[in-house]
Amino acid sequence: MKSGSFFNFFMNKKGEIFSLTIKHLQLSVLAVIIAILIGIPIGILISKKKKLAPPIIGLANVLQAIPSLALMGFLIPFFGIGEVPAIIMVCLYSLLPIIKNTYTGLININPATIEAGQAMGMTEGQLLRMVQLPLALPIIMAGVRISAVTAVGLMTMSAFIGAGGLGSYIYTGVQTVNTNMILAGAIPSCILALIMDFVIGRIEKMVEPKNKKNKLKKRSMAIVSAILVGIILIPLFTSAFSKGDRIVVGSKNYTENKLLANMFAILLEEKTDIKVERKFDLAGTDVVFKAINKGEVDIYPEYTGTALVSILKKDIITDPSEAYKLTKNEFKEKYNLEMLKPLGFNNTYTLAVRKEDAEKYNLNTFSDLSKISNQMVLGATYEFIGRDDGLIGLSKKYGMNFKDIKGMDSGLRYTAIDSKKTDVTDAFSTDGLLVAFDLKVLKDDKKFFPPYEAVPVVRADTLKKYPEVKPLLDSLGGVLDDDTMRQLNYQCDKLGKDPDKVARNFLKSKGLI
């Protein structure tokens, strides 16, 4: 990657990067403030009642040990997607250093100092406010400093649940093997962490008990800090509590789904007066389906095979029309969701290998691969590995027994096979990266995979409230085929074009906008 190419990318995207940076800062600051409001009182409590210290600090340690993705997955059923679970997740991770440092700072104060205050007739409250907290404050601030810096890094995970921030650039860059995009998210995130560390470090020095000269500085710093926090957080609260008619369009965390979701959103924006909000890059089928069931998403693109096997837990049906009819009826009956007209292409699962290996072993079909699978390393997405309509069922159908199986992110699996870390990868038949990495797509000769026709899924109450939505989205029915979708994906994944612009240009070419 050339530095000039990154500079050009950054300048072209500077407005969007700045917006994501501010959102990232808002979320991180709010999470840390809440952690301070919870952590310091808990630290004070356990310094007074020392028997509570081991279980409370132990619980904070356990929270710290839970993987962030697992914790977000646990929070989604209770708090849905978006900013709230992201803030709660980062807040929980921020508690440990604040609680421990508050506790440590208070219990290590010289007992003679406490006795002197008591001898002067101070109450417990006065001792705490006037003696203990001022003396412990530098240590407490060190804990806050650790939490704040950690929060900035952790908040990149919020992209998985539609909270926004710089993580959306990092994750999209990983998926599309776009180094410029990864750096455009990672560099501002690092700078934010350094700024947070510097600012809190300055505050930490100013609260050290020295002399009266610091009083004015402390007051000035407190005023400036309050103003800055207000500037950062007021817009966040305003957006969180603002109400009004809107439709939320969601998408899963890969290019094609975002392209389709952009088509839905653009159609609604161009053809109606409805306010449209985008919640893209949600972490897979489970997250986006929970979101639409909770009413946090109104529309998203789904695939009939995924709906059939992963959501409805039905047996595989190979007939496309039968699979569509069954999923449409069951979505309506069980979830009150409407499945609209198929978009026209079938993005089925497949397996791909390097062309040199295909020639070496004469690989054309899944059956060919099964014969030498014990010599091959499979690099696949975690979702594919764990699905009945993925590796589990595929291994049974074809008798595949790979030498090793490596689970990884969807973008990394292409990097892995290209660098010969793996030999086989799962893929979608319309993936643009299949073209970009010049891979050989193998044929599912026993027809294991069900049809994966792309369809808009919409909440029934949304269609009732906005009846104009159905005919608009139905106008997309049948307008896409496999080759067209593959080329649209290629424009984003390889050529680095914005999915919104690619989707908009396609709709214009079809006369839909």
Give the pLDDT score at 235.
59
Query: How deeply is 409 buried, as exposed, middle or buried, from its count of CB atoms within 10 A (0-12, 13-18, 19+)?
Result: middle
Same domain, residue pair 505 and 404: no
| Residue 238 in this model has a pLDDT that exceeds 80 | no
Average the pLDDT over each of 213-227, 259-273, 432-446 and give the range with the smallest value: 213-227
Same domain, residue pair 95 and 210: yes
Same domain, residue pair 286 and 431: no
| Residue 248 in this model has a pLDDT that exceeds 80 | yes
Average the pLDDT over each of 91-95, 206-210, 426-430 and give the range with the smallest value: 206-210
Give the pLDDT score at 284.
78
| Residue 409 in this model has a pLDDT that exceeds 80 | no
Mean pLDDT of 203-227: 59
Give the angle 38-39-42 at the CA atoms, nearest 5°: 90
Of 429, 448, 455, the C-alpha closest to 304 is: 455
Give the tokens for residue 112.
Answer: 């003679």
- Cα–Cα distance, 280 to 158 (Å, whole number): 12
Sign of the Cα torsion 161, 167, 170, 172 reads positive
Give the pLDDT score at 336.
96
Query: How deeply is 115 buried, as exposed, middle or buried, from its count of CB atoms within 10 A (0-12, 13-18, 19+)?
Result: exposed
**Confidence bin at 237 (pLDDT 50/70/90):** low
**SS3 for 178-199, per residue?**
CHHHHHHHHHHHHHHHHHHHHH
Of 287, 285, 338, the C-alpha closest to 311 is: 285
- Cα–Cα distance, 363 to 375 (Å, whole number): 13
What are the residues whose beta carbons fall under 8 Å from the beta carbon of 210, sequence distance 6 or more? none
- What range defines the domain where residue 59 resides? 3-241
**Confidence bin at 231 (pLDDT 50/70/90):** low
DSSP-derived letter for residue 297 is: -
Give the pLDDT score at 502.
96
- Cα–Cα distance, 361 to 372 (Å, whole number): 8
Same domain, residue pair 361 and 214: no
Same domain, residue pair 219 and 274: no
Give the pLDDT score at 81.
82
Domain count, the chain: 3
- Cα–Cα distance, 17 to 22 (Å, whole number): 9
Is position 446 within any domain?
Answer: no
Is position 447 within any domain?
Answer: no
- Cα–Cα distance, 375 to 404 (Å, whole number): 9
Would you put residue 487 in left (φ > 0), alpha (ψ -120 to 50) or beta? alpha
Give the pLDDT score at 422.
96
Q: What is the pLDDT of residues 466-512, one digit of tens each?
A: 999 999 999 999 999 988 998 999 898 888 788 999 999 999 999 99
How much helix, strand and coil, in percent to the nearest 5, is found in the chain? 65, 10, 25
Same domain, residue pair 427 and 492: no
Considering 399, 414, 441, which residue would you say is the last residue of a domain?
441
Residue found by looking up tokens 């979101």 in the block: 291
Measuring CA to CA, how many Å separate 203 from each of 97, 225, 510?
17, 9, 58
CATH number at residue 154: 1.10.3720.10
CATH number at residue 433: 3.40.190.120
Average the pLDDT over each of 85-94, 109-118, 190-199, 345-354 and give the range with the smallest value: 109-118
Q: Are 344 and 477 in contact (CB under 8 A)?
A: yes
Same domain, residue pair 322 and 416: no
What are the residues whose beta carbons fall under 8 Å from the beta carbon of 395, sequence distance 6 or more? 401
What is the overall mean pLDDT for the chain? 87
Considering 441, 468, 487, which residue would you say is the last residue of a domain?
441
- Cα–Cα distance, 89 to 404 (Å, whole number): 33
Q: In this predicted model, which residue has the larger pLDDT, 45 or 69?
A: 45
Q: What is the pLDDT of residues 431-472, one digit of tens each?
A: 888 888 889 999 999 989 889 999 999 999 999 999 999 999
Instruction: Return the bridge partners of 351, or none.
Output: 426
Same domain, residue pair 208 and 107: yes
- Cα–Cα distance, 259 to 300 (Å, whole number): 11
CATH number at residue 300: 3.40.190.10
**Is the entire prediction scored with pTM above 0.85?**
no
Of 142, 46, 143, 43, the C-alpha closest to 93 is: 143
Mean pLDDT of 345-368: 94
| Residue 205 in this model has a pLDDT that exceeds 80 | no
Mean pLDDT of 354-368: 95
Give the pLDDT score at 202.
79
Q: 118: how many CB neighbours lie within 10 A of its CB?
A: 14
C-alpha count within 13 angstroms, C-beta hemisphere, residue 268: 25
- Cα–Cα distance, 478 to 461 (Å, whole number): 25
Average the pLDDT over each of 180-184, 237-241, 507-511 and give the range with the smallest value: 237-241
| Residue 243 in this model has a pLDDT that exceeds 50 | no
Q: What is the pLDDT of residues 267-318, one digit of tens each?
A: 999 999 999 999 888 877 888 998 899 888 999 999 999 999 889 999 888 8
| Residue 66 in this model has a pLDDT that exceeds 70 | yes
Q: What is the pLDDT of residues 89-140, one digit of tens each?
A: 999 999 999 999 999 999 998 888 888 888 888 888 888 888 888 889 889 9
Q: In this predicted model, which residue has the larger pLDDT, 146 or 179?
A: 146
For every residue of 306-360, DSSP letters joined together read HIIIIIS-PPP---HHHHHHHHHHHHHHHH-EEE----S-B--EEEEEEHHHHHH
Same domain, residue pair 207 and 110: yes
